[in-house]
Structure 1
Amino acid sequence: MTIGSTISREPVGRLLGYLGLRRPRSDAPASSDAPDPGGVRQARRNLIAAIGGFLIENDLEVSPANLLVAHSAFSGRNPQLARQIARRSRSREGVSQQWINEVTSEETQHETRADLDRLMARLETNLDAFQTRSRAAHQMTRDYGSELEEHLTDLERLQKTGQIVSSLADLAKAMLERTRKAEDEMRRSEEEAKSLRRSLARAQRDAEVDYLTGLPNRRAFEALLERHYREARETPVALSVAFCDIDNFKAINDAHGHEAGDRVLKVIADTLAQISDDNCHVARHGGEEFVMLFRGLTPTEAAARLDGARARLADRRLVNRKTDTPFGVVTFSGGVADVFGYPGPRAALKAADDALYRAKEAGRNRVEIA
């Protein structure tokens, strides 16, 4: 199914009813006769038709969660989700409720990470402000204590000054003691702030690593891509992106189990990591998908490097060491695109994604250039 496709009037009516909307009465003027500046109403009808068609054609429940998924995909809010749905629709597995639940879980985790990133950034900003103010207060307290100590020494040197000076000396001693305590507390606060910053840095690193493969995750890759895109645009240099997807991965999981499937994912990750360097970065994008960034390489050069890794993997004969059962030939397909051949990095990623699925349709175990 394609975005914007139409469905019969009866399913649309049921969907409108579910949404708490009503279809116009049969005696009401035709909606096409009413003014529709900018085609807003027609766009809404197309969106409702696309959502309804998606749910009905895939036999999905008309639930709030499924409606949110469909709306995110077909409204343009989440182009990546739309591509995932389109790919899944073209595959033999098709779109199922179980797959929708898995996708929803992944998206929720991604949104949670984004929220965590914002919170950590705010915490880091607050830590900066605290440390700056704490250092200033610490220095002021230290200077005050030093000056007070000098006055106290002068007072104690005076001879026969009487009770007033003696009282002043006692008061100055008490003030100096409290000042030193305050200075110690500020020093401890600074050490705690430094420790918290180190923990924050570790948490940020952990949040950018895929726990299974040890590669950077999707969030880390997106930040890396944006940075390299800005830098490469300022100093003209080639920039290519690639999507890779393990061929027939579901069959591996079905035949050998998910634990064995995880080990295959690690093998693919290691294979791609072997061609990585300072200008070639690989990350796990999610599921059985990997994404790569090639700086200084044209799409043809990047495709050649990726194809070399594909060929080396295809020559291997992997065995499930726990059962001594051969996995058979494990391969992946890839798609490569020129980042500067499209309006922006996201558009280039979509082009690489489309090239990947041309490789799939052409027989798998190959790399295509967008």
Structure 2
Amino acid sequence: MTNSENSSGSILQWLGFRGARGGRSVDGKPAFANGAGNVFQQARRHLLDEIAAFLLTYELDVTPNNLLTAHGAFSGSNPALARKIAQHVTAGLAVTQEWLDEITAADETIDKHDGIQHLMARLETTLESFSKNANDTRSATADYTDELEQHVAELDQVQGTGQILSSLADLAKAMLERTRKLETDMRRSEEEAKALRRSLEKARREAEIDHMTGLPNRRAFEAVLEREYRDARASFDPLTVAFCDIDHFKRINDTHGHDAGDRVIRLIAEMLATISDDNCHVARHGGEEFVMLFRGISLSEAHKKLDGLREQMAERRLRNRKTDEPLGQITFSAGIADVFDFSDPRAALKAADEALYTAKQGGRNQVIIAPKGGAQAA
């Protein structure tokens, strides 16, 4: 070779020529070529022959370091080392173990430095990635810190690998039990919530029922009146409201007692309820007073229904169950009004109450229709 810029291939060729005495066949071709099966095998065999020729030519020991040095120079994996060897041989210098150890030591230092730099670069990249992931993980697992600390504290109390594994299994079982208990508690809470809703619904219904008569109370009636008023106005259905009051009720209580008075209230409620349906609502307004709402029938038809009940009641003769004394004739008076003859349902209720007062003042036991404008008329 003529200069130090020759490639590693040149030194391989030179070393191959130099090693022909021990590495080539009699025809000048590489010894492995006679039976080569493919190109890959040929390359492998050629590399092995060149490494062997290098070590044998310069009487170098077959050591791991020498094999690695020769492999780096002849395989092309370390071109810098191959150039150093080529320069040394071209200068006519002997390749000794001492020199080889010297250059490989320097080369190892360079390799180590490059490796450290590469490792540090990778580590820095890894740390940046780890820092970002750690920050994300910390944020994502903030809610679990207390529980993790508790588990770590429990593990610190355990001695031995087997015990740690056993403890981890116990912790997993405990967590599963707690999860199942939580599920059971949630299911129980759900059932309790359903029961509470049912209780609330029942309480709501009970709050709208008059317990003495079983009829809706005043509060429930007001909600019905608002709904029916809205629907009737939209569908152009007639809507009539009426107030009823038991005549001389105080006298009944004073003469025959409150128990008898309560039975009279219940009797009137039963009679009024007989005409109650989806379009006729009856409620106890308070005391001995009742309120009714008729939808889908005219004012005169509603008057006829209510007046018919009044007559039925007046025909009955009741007796005191405790004393067997007669209660005498029990009657009621009523005032009735066309809701749409007034500005709103409350105005109609007021008109029906005024008509009731007129019926009372006019001798009781009658149903008075409230005229438009509030002037009473029979």
TM bin (shorter chain): 0.5 to 0.7
Matched, 1:318 2:311: no
Q: Which residue of 2 aligns with 1:289?
A: 289
Structure 2 CA distance for aligned equivalents of residues 183 and 212 of structure 1: 44
- Residue of structure 1 in register with 2:207 after alignment: 207
- Following the alignment from structure 1 to structure 2, what is the Cα–Cα distance between the partners of residues 322 and 163? 84
CA displacement, residues 115-151 of structure 1 (integer Å, 9 cap, x when unaligned): xxxxxxxxxxxxxxxxxxxxxxxxxxxxxxxxxxxxx
1:80-114 deviations in Å (ceiling 9; x for gaps): xxxxxxxxxxxxxxxxxxxxxxxxxxxxxxxxxxx
Counterpart of 2:246?
246
| Pairwise CA distance, 1:246 | 0.8
> What secondary structure, in the 3-state scheme, does the structure 2 residue paired with 1:324 have?
coil
Query: How many aligned positions are there?
Result: 210
Q: Equivalent residue for 1:176?
A: 176
Distance in 1 (CA, whole Å) between partners of 2:203 and 2:172 is: 46
Q: How much is the aligned-residue C-alpha RMSD, in angstroms?
A: 2.0
The answer to whether structure 1 residue 255 and structure 2 residue 249 are counterparts is: no
**Residue number in structure 2 paired with 1:237:** 237
Partner amino acid for 1:261?
G
1:176 CA drift (Å):
2.5
For residue 353 of structure 1, what is the aligned residue in structure 2?
Answer: 353
The offset of 1:177, in angstroms, is 2.6
Distance 1:177 1:255 in 2: 71
What amino acid does structure 2 have at the position aligned with 1:368?
I
Letter in 1 for 2:304: A
Deviation at 1:169, TM superposition (A): 5.6
Unaligned runs of 5+ in 1: 1-161
Partner residue in 1 for 2:25? none
Q: How does 1:264-275 map to 2 (within 5 A)?
A: 264-275=264-275
Matched letter for residue 354 of structure 1: E
Query: Take 1:317 and 1:227, find their aligned partners in 2: how far apart are those partners?
Result: 38
Question: What is the correspondence of 1:328-339 to structure 2 with a 5 Å cutoff?
Answer: 328-339=328-339
Q: Distance in 1 between matches of 2:260 and 2:174?
A: 70
Instruction: Please give the residue correspondences for 1:48-59 in structure 2 after superposition, counting only pairs within 5 Å.
Output: none
Q: Distance in 1 between matches of 2:164 and 2:340?
A: 82
Match in the other structure for 1:47: none
Question: In structure 2, how many angstroms separate the alpha carbons of the residues matched to 1:267 and 1:171?
Answer: 70
Identity of aligned residues (%): 71
SS in 2 for 1:328: strand
Using structure 1 for the length normalisation, give the TM-score.
Answer: 0.54
Distance 2:253 2:184 in 1: 59
Give the Cα–Cα distance (whole angstroms) in 1 for the partners of residues 359 and 177 of structure 2: 76
**Could you tell me how far 1:315 is from its partner in structure 2?**
0.8
Which has the larger Rg? 2
Structure 2 unpaired stretches of 5+ = 1-161, 371-378
Shift of 1:167: 7.1
Q: Structure 2 CA distance, aligned partners of 1:330 and 1:359?
A: 15
Question: Match of 2:192?
Answer: 192
CA distance in structure 1 between the aligned counterparts of 2:182 and 2:252, rounded to whole angstroms:
64
Q: Distance in 2 between matches of 1:192 and 1:354?
A: 49
Equivalent residue letter for 2:288: E
What is the letter of the counterpart of residue 177 of structure 1?
A: E
1:302 is the counterpart of 2:302: yes
Report SS of the residue matched to 1:267: helix
Equivalent residue runs for 1:1-370 within 5 Å: 171-370=171-370
Residues 333 and 168 (structure 1), Cα distance of their counterparts in 2 relative to 1, 3 Å cut:
same
Deviation at 1:166, TM superposition (A): 7.7
